[in-house]
Structure 1
Amino acid sequence: MKYLNLVWLIAFSIISNLSKAQESIKTDLLQNIQGRNTTSLNGMWEIIVDPLENGYYNHRYKAKPDGYFINKKMESPSDLIEYDFDSDWQISVPGDWNTQFDKLYYYEGTVWYKRDFHFNGNSDEAAYLYFEAVNYEATVYLNGEKLGTHVGGYTPFQFDVSGKLKEGENFVVVKVDNKRKREAVPTINTDWWNYGGITRSVHLITVPKKHIFDYSIQLANNNPDLIEGWVTVKNGKEGEEVAISIPELKKSVTAKLTDGKASFSIKAKPVLWSPSNPKLYEVNLSLGNERITDRIGFRTIKTEGAKIVLNGKPVFLKGISIHEEAPFKTGRVVSVEECRILLTWAKELGCNFIRLAHYPHNEAMVREAEKMGFLIWSEIPVYWTVLFDNESTYANAENQLKEMISRDKNRAAVILWSVANETPEGEPRLKFLTQLATKARELDDSRLITAALDTQGSREGAKFIEDPLGKVVDVIGINNYCGWYAGAPGDCADIKWATDYNKPMIMSEVGGGALYGLHGEKNERWTEEYQADVYKNNIEMMRNIDFLAGASPWILMDFRSARRHLRRIQGDFNRKGLISEQGMKKQAFYILQDYYLNENN
């Protein structure tokens, strides 16, 4: 009894500390930047590589007031200034430094970015400096003034720069640091490349002083004939009206602001979004002279026992996992065209579902996938052994969860929020992930919660799902590499699965590696024949799981990983892709394609 009391005291202490950490989290994201007046700051930026952080610290390791962020220039021939952005390297933004400079291929540390831009001001406008993502820690300065810091490499952030911009020439400096840290999210050990830099687009966004800031529009959870939502307004007045219209449905409504937020509902019978008919409606929001247009789909998603039910009908998720790795050239995905190439391959494979691993992918990927009819699993990089008993680690993870949900809450294609991948069982982990799941439901109760698990027990000759996190999530993801990390491919077909949870299961990872063009017998590892045999036998195994609701095998395309040291086979690539980094399809691609196109799942 004393031991149990001690456990509960420790648990209460952890939860109390986590709650204190959450109080400091302020996620504040402008919705639908595509629908705004934006000036792109993409293009060539000047950079200074600074492994010792001389641009920030002096020789006593104290922060200095005249660091690189003030962009100091020589005023006389005798001035001692030991940096000059304008004569240093240039780099393309968006993009990573690892694949743009051979010397920075393995580099992890600080790089300073600088960009000059012209601004024609308007006293009636507000302005935001918006970053779609910077990996990993970004400290941003405008004209030498610090705007703030953002931590997390895969979610957007912004700064209100109203009144801070000068008429005419301005400059922005970003201190980017991608050093891996034990307390970070993800933690120090991962199986993907730690691409450093301003990896996604940068925008200067101008809006009226009084403007629509955020909104949520979707079908009511328990009434498919009711569209409901809310709109928040910055600098609005109590009682002012926001107009919402859906022209194709011939519906419009006005809602009054109360404490900066206007809630509304619309009776309607929209055509429901689905993979076979990814219907999107034009939705207009108006406030005074401001008008914003978005394209939004409406659908319902829930579980019934071991089934995932989309729009009232069970759906089997024929999926594939995808990393945000650019086809053909590798490096971070930086364009809509690269997103479309990856999604076109997934469509050719026969997929109706994609798992965007192991972090939120860029917004273009989500929007393009929605247009093409893919259901989406989106997750935060709580991966392997993050510090589950660390207060700041939890605060970081929750903030990334909030930013992911804030950006994509209006995308009908997203049906699953994932809170973790392959995390080891234990009480701190269970509390950490339970609290994340609770927060996700608090922020968005219209989607399902999942996590990818990799620990299974055995019972009566079957693999048994007993992870206590199964009680917390709505859909159980299972990563299982029979034939690759355990057993031979031929051992897999007859494996039986069992569970005490009456919930859907997705085989979230399954597969094996192969070097494209390497051939041999099916028992020769790294050959296409071996990988194909892994898929054949694991597909037979999945056919016999009566609570299986889908699969997202690992992975669509080979991707860079510094863990992969077998030089003549891997060469810094995880070779589990069905397609090589140069776009060549391996034999296993066609094995999975046949399963998806010809099975009546």
Structure 2
Amino acid sequence: MGIFDKMRQGLWLIVLLLGLNGCGSIPTEQTAFTYPALNGVWQFSPLVHDPTDLAPVQSHFDASHWPTITVPGNWYPQGYDLAGRHWYRRAFTLSRLPDSPSELVFEGVDYSARVWLNGHFLGQHSGFFAAFSFEVSTQLQLGQNWLVVEVDSPLEQQEDKDWSLNKRLIKGVLSHHDTRPGGAWSERGQEQNTGGIWGDVRLQPKPPFDVAELQWHSQVNQKQTRASVEFVVAQPMKARGQWQLELISGSDRSAVERYVFPVVTNDAGARLSFSLPWAERRLWWPREMGEAALYELSISYVEDGVRTEVARRQVGFREIYYDGQRGQWFINHQRVFLRGTNYIPTLYLAKANEALLAHDLALMAQANVNIVRVHAMVLPQRFYRMADRLGMMVWQDFPLQWGYVDEPSFTLEAQRQARLLVSQFGHHPSVVTWSGHNEPPWDADWMQYVYSNYQPDQNRALDEQLYLAFKTADPSRPVFAASLTKEHPWLGWYSGSWQDYGKPAKQALITEYGAQALPDLPVWAGVVELTDDLSLPDDWSQWEFHNFQRKETFELAGVSAGKNVAELIDNSQKYQARLIRYAAESLRRQKYQPVGAIFQFMLVEHWPSANWGVLDHRRNPKPGYEALQTAYQPVMPSIMHEQASFAPEQWIELPVYLLNDLHQDYLDARLTLQLYQGEDLVAHQEQRVDLMADTVQQLADFAPESLPAGRYQLRADLYSAQQRLLGYSKFEFEVTP
């Protein structure tokens, strides 16, 4: 080593020692850029403003007199009972600019938004459920930055007395429904508006390519699977790099399939398509049929050895098929009977957090529900991710509820939002079908009694175009143009009696059935005003605002009001429980003859009310929850009867069915039938049966000899050959003169 090399080495040692002792420093690599958090406290204008007045978008605008609001969050739960256009503003500071292009991302805004950054208009978006973003690389500045958002969540046009037949907002139950505050048909039915920035707002690095309309379609042939991946790239492509697709599995993320595809020169907006080959992979199954196996799909662009991820999705390999002729559903080529519930967790999507959704999904699973219909709304992405992991199938409605304007512009907007729904949510394996419109006017002739200007063909063309939009965007799933009125029998509530569910069904799809029930007294007392003696009200308007349907309860269902509120609560809960059990068991006894799916309405009351939930708004179970849980057991002895009272001389014959929705035979199973009067066993039967997979088996009726007056309970228990309890049932009746 020469003298100059030794001197140079010595100098570096001195510099290093000085740095270690705090007496100097050496150059260090610049730290990675950290984007500021944008969630939290924003300034908010509660005044409805003129859309042409854009003064608040300027950085120098003084909004110090504005109150504050939390983002994410809808405005009504934060004390702002508002509708229409309202300003959001917040500042953030950058001590340096990002090293790479950046984008501003909104998880969700109800209903539309216009966005400015430092006085520059970034763009606008409409539709409450979809995420959207803007590139902001050239708008960011050193020091203070001002982000301004105009959120518009208007009321429908109330000057039209038939406004609810001619809605213009694609909001489903968020703007018009029986379970909204005020109900569907009162003048107060649009209160407690759902507007606001309900999802996360964040700055983040922008991928080099804008990947949109990403589609994942998988096929299954026994254990062999394959998939196709399609997406649109907004920028023009040059044939320099490669696309790399990785399929990552395993909790340790060690199992990786990697596929490389050359970049083909394309114009901007080109649709790219890649195929993953047939291979043996784990399948995604509903939870009672197997493992809900999941993979992560990573899409990257590689150029000159540099890999940049542009998209990541949670996916699964499964194939869904609906035989419309027979009304039967198949997943991975195995037939499955759908035992479902309808679900509206909240009107305010910011409240649909991980804890609430996980709790509700667990309650569904405990009630033996295997599919949930997200009823005329769309939930945040976190719900579908959890459903994926749990193996809970999802029937996804598009948010159209009853009547809308028949205008070309509205049809085009509905098609656009349908494509967004498929693009942003279609990769979830839990989503097994799309349904376009709940009870459209062209299929709801009962509307002629509600609206003076009802037209029998209203929205038919809209729904045809919406159906085509879904089928074109996603050919891998069953699509329904509408959830039809005939699929919502509502026996024992809007027509007929609850015993009518015992008659032969005419529909393969039953997507709504149920009855109302009041919540328990302590809960209801926190919702409406009650007198000290709990007397029934003379004025029912407060109850009706909170969804109680008086005519249906007393006149059509025949629920006894009782002597006071406590008795009415008890009577309504017993009625709901009895109807749910009898309807569910009767329809399940007709499995595939022709019934292939049933959906109770509904799981939970999403606000302080008295409606069709088997859980109240605090998630306390009503007796109807246990009734649903019992009637939805995958394997069960069904002994529910339409009659609960018999005369002493009457010959009693109670039906006995064995229901098996699982793909497993139970040979040499043991069924016990025990009849009790109080604690006394008065009759007992036991038999061995071979219960085959995915079947309904009718056994001889249980016919005890003449019984004296009294109350009785018939208990049925089904055991496997290994003495494991497979299912149970109880039926109470009385013999009375």
Moved more, 140-149 or 183-192: 183-192
TM-superposed CA distance for 1:205, in Å, is 2.6
Partners of 2:198 and 2:349 within 8 A in 1? no
Letter in 2 for 1:69: V
Aligned to 1:203: 202
TM-superposed CA distance for 1:123, in Å, is 6.7
Partners of 1:299 and 1:412 within 8 A in 2? yes
Gaps of 5+ in 1: 1-36, 57-62, 74-83, 457-477, 500-504, 561-570
Partners of 1:151 and 1:396 within 8 A in 2? no
Letter in 2 for 1:196: G
Partners of 1:492 and 1:537 within 8 A in 2? no
Aligned to 2:216: 217
Gaps of 5+ in 2: 1-33, 157-166, 182-192, 250-254, 443-455, 525-552, 562-567, 637-658, 662-737
Report how many residues are paired.
Answer: 501
Render the CA deviation track for 1:534-593: whole Å, top value 9, x for unaligned. Answer: 212322442354222222211111123xxxxxxxxxx6x352111111120000001111
Aligned to 2:619: 583
Aligned to 2:494: 485
Q: Does 1:531 align with 2:531?
A: no
- Aligned identity (percent) is 24
Measure the CA separation in 1 of the matches of 2:395 and 2:216. 20
Letter in 2 for 1:280: L
Partners of 1:420 and 1:433 within 8 A in 2? yes
TM-superposed CA distance for 1:488, in Å, is 3.5
Distance 1:132 1:337, change over 3 A: same
Aligned to 1:253: 259
Moved more, 151-160 or 369-378: 151-160
TM-superposed CA distance for 1:454, in Å, is 4.5
Q: 1:143 aligns with which of 114, 118, 136?
A: 118
Distance 1:180 1:275, change over 3 A: same
Distance 1:434 1:452, change over 3 A: closer
Matches within 5 A, 1:106-505: 107-119=82-94, 125-181=100-156, 182-186=167-171, 189-191=176-178, 192=180, 194-210=193-209, 215-220=214-219, 225-233=225-233, 235=235, 237-239=237-239, 240-248=241-249, 250-258=256-264, 259=266, 261-267=271-277, 268-276=279-287, 277-288=291-302, 289-291=307-309, 293-304=312-323, 305-325=326-346, 332-387=350-405, 389-425=406-442, 426-456=456-486, 478-489=487-498, 491-498=499-506, 505=508
Aligned to 1:43: 40
Partners of 1:46 and 1:113 within 8 A in 2? yes
Distance 1:189 1:232, change over 3 A: closer
Counterpart secondary structure, 1:559: coil
Partners of 1:94 and 1:334 within 8 A in 2? no
Measure the CA separation in 1 of the matches of 2:59 and 2:76. 24
Computing the radius of gyration over CA atoms, which structure comes out larger, 1 or 2? 2
TM-superposed CA distance for 1:313, in Å, is 0.3
TM-superposed CA distance for 1:38, in Å, is 7.5
Counterpart secondary structure, 2:77: coil
Render the CA deviation track for 1:426-474: whole Å, top value 9, x for unaligned. Answer: 4342221111111111111111112553433xxxxxxxxxxxxxxxxxx
TM-superposed CA distance for 1:301, in Å, is 0.6
TM-superposed CA distance for 1:121, in Å, is 6.2
Distance 1:123 1:38, change over 3 A: closer
Letter in 2 for 1:135: D
TM-score by length of 1: 0.77
Determine which structure has greater relative contact order: mean sequence separation of CA pairs < 8 Å that are 6+ residues apart, divided by chain length: 1
Measure the CA separation in 1 of the matches of 2:35 and 2:480. 35
Aligned to 1:512: 515
TM-superposed CA distance for 1:125, in Å, is 2.6
Letter in 1 for 2:336: V
Render the CA deviation track for 1:294-334: whole Å, top value 9, x for unaligned. Answer: 432110011233211000101112222111418xxx87434
TM-superposed CA distance for 1:184, in Å, is 2.3
Q: Does 1:100 align with 2:78?
A: yes
Moved more, 512-521 or 302-311: 512-521
Counterpart secondary structure, 2:612: coil
Counterpart secondary structure, 2:603: coil
Partners of 1:124 and 1:208 within 8 A in 2? no
Partners of 1:378 and 1:416 within 8 A in 2? yes
Measure the CA separation in 1 of the matches of 2:484 and 2:618. 30
Letter in 2 for 1:481: W
Measure the CA separation in 1 of the matches of 2:282 and 2:208. 36
TM-superposed CA distance for 1:236, in Å, is 6.2
Partners of 1:242 and 1:262 within 8 A in 2? no
Distance 1:143 1:244, change over 3 A: same
TM-superposed CA distance for 1:347, in Å, is 1.4
Measure the CA separation in 2 of the matches of 1:390 and 1:40. 41
TM-superposed CA distance for 1:366, in Å, is 0.9
Letter in 1 for 2:368: G
